[in-house]
Amino acid sequence: MPDSNTNHYCVVVSQTQQGTNDKAALLDEAQWLQNEVIRVKFVEGDDALRERVRAVAEEWTADGMAQLTFEWVDDDSEADVRVAFVAGDGSWSYLGIQCRDIPEDQATMN
């Protein structure tokens, strides 16, 4: 299958220098605290897309999964995680609490 979009990629953005053997899931300094409430908002995307993403994300915090809670907030609220849907920008995300260091007017994942 030919690649019709050379901008498709997946990357996790980190503000700290990483070595060749670092694993994203093991970066302790970026982990949310157990039982933490993470405020999440969508900065774009239609309602159907937002609902699909929300449904999958809620699976991550179901019983027996991550011991976190998502609080979904509206467009005018401050949020830890700000989800964009920019076509051609690939799939990327800051790790865990690194989102809190990103200016409020910028997305923290796409």
DSSP state letter for 26 = G
- pLDDT category of residue 1 using cuts at 50, 70 and 90: very low
pLDDT of residue 35: 94
| Residue environment code for 67-81, b if the CB has 16+ CB neighbours within 10 A, otherwise e | eeebeebeeeeebbb
**Reported pTM:** 0.76
**What digits encode the pLDDT tens for the residues 68-109?**
999 999 988 899 999 999 998 888 888 899 999 999 999 999
**CA-to-CA distance for 67 and 89, rounded, in angstroms?**
30
